[in-house]
Amino acid sequence: MFIKRGMTRKVITIDPEAGVLEARDLLQRYKIHSLPVTGPGGTLAGIVTDRDVRSALPSGILSDEELHRMKERLANLKVRDIMTTQVVTVSPENTLADALLLMQQVHVGALPVIDRGRRILGIISVRDLLKGFTEVLGIEEPGTLLCILAEDRPGQMKRIVDAITEEKIRFGSIVVARVWEEGKRAFFPYLLTHNTVRIKKKLEGLGFTFINPVDWYLESRPPK
C-alpha cells in the first residue's frame, strides 16, 4: 500500500512565529505528538514535538524570581526557536514498508508527507501504519496465525497454500520470513478460522513443522 492511501490528510500545523505555549496547547488539544511547522504556501519549514516543548517549559520547583524570568522568556519564545529544521520526510509514492523502516532508523513516531515543492500533503504516523498493515495483512477479522517451518527451496509456499485452499479455509494473508537456521524459511499464514486441527495434521503429513510464532521470534534471533 502506498503512503498516499494510508496517510492522515488533515494535518494540524503551526507557524514558525507562533509561541511555544500555543504549540503545547495544540499538541494537548488534538492528542498528537508532533506538529509540522509550515511557511508560505504550506511549505515545510520544520517540525516541533511534544518533547521539544517539554524541554522548553519549566520543570520542578522554581522560586518566584525564577518563575518571573521564565514567564518573560516563554512570552518571547517562538516555535522557530525550538523546532527541528532537518526534517525526515516521505513522498506519497513511498510505501508503508518504506515509512516503517525509516521510522525505525531515525527513531520517530511520525513522518510528514511532502510533494516535490516541499508542500505538506499529510502525515504518516505509527497509528496510520498499524491501520494500514491491518488491512494489508487481512487481520481485521478474527482468525489464527500459524508458523510453519519449511526447507528453503522453490515451491514450498505453493504447497502450503494449495493444502489450505483444498480445505476451503480462507486466508487473511501469508507472510514469509527468514530464520537463523541455515536452509530454513518460516511461513506465517493468517487463517480466517479458529478450527485449525485438520489443516495442521494435513500439513504435518506433507512434512512441514509447526512452532509457536513467539518461540520462532525469540529462538531465531542471532546471538549477540
Q: Are residues 29 and 119 in the same domain?
A: yes
- How many CA atoms are closer than 13 Å to the CA of 6, on its beta-carbon side? 28
Domain boundary pick from 135, 156, 184: 135
Q: Are residues 118 and 209 in the same domain?
A: no
CATH of the domain at 183: 3.30.70.260
196 within a domain of the structure (yes/no): yes
Please report the pLDDT score of residue 49 as a whole number.
94
- Please compute the mean of the pLDDT values over residues 211-215 and round it to a whole number: 77
Q: Greatest CA span in the chain, whole angstroms?
A: 79
Q: Are residues 57 and 168 in the same domain?
A: no
For residue 106, name the pLDDT band (cuts at 50, 70, 90).
very high
Residue 72, φ and ψ in degrees, nearest 5: -65, -40
186 within a domain of the structure (yes/no): yes
- Tens-digit pLDDT profile for residues 157-209: 999 999 999 999 998 899 888 776 788 889 999 999 999 999 999 999 999 99
Please report the pLDDT score of residue 22 as a whole number.
93
156 within a domain of the structure (yes/no): yes
- Tens-digit pLDDT profile for residues 52-100: 998 887 765 555 566 566 667 777 889 999 999 999 999 999 999 999 9
For residue 23, name the pLDDT band (cuts at 50, 70, 90).
very high
Q: Are residues 8 and 116 in the same domain?
A: yes
CA 26/CA 151 separation, integer angstroms: 53
CA 2/CA 148 separation, integer angstroms: 29
Domain count, the chain: 2
Average pLDDT of the chain to the nearest whole number = 88
Q: Are residues 52 and 76 in the same domain?
A: yes
Q: Are residues 176 and 123 in the same domain?
A: no
Q: Which domain holds residue 126?
A: 3-135
Q: Are residues 79 and 172 in the same domain?
A: no
Please report the pLDDT score of residue 80 as a whole number.
95
Classified as helix, coil or strand, 198 is helix
Could you tell me the three cell numbers for 190? Answer: 493468517
Residue 97, sorted as left (phi over 0), alpha (psi -120 to 50) or beta, turns out to be alpha
DSSP code of residue 92: T
Q: Could you give the percent of the chain with pLDDT greater than 70? A: 90
pTM for this model (two decimals)? 0.71
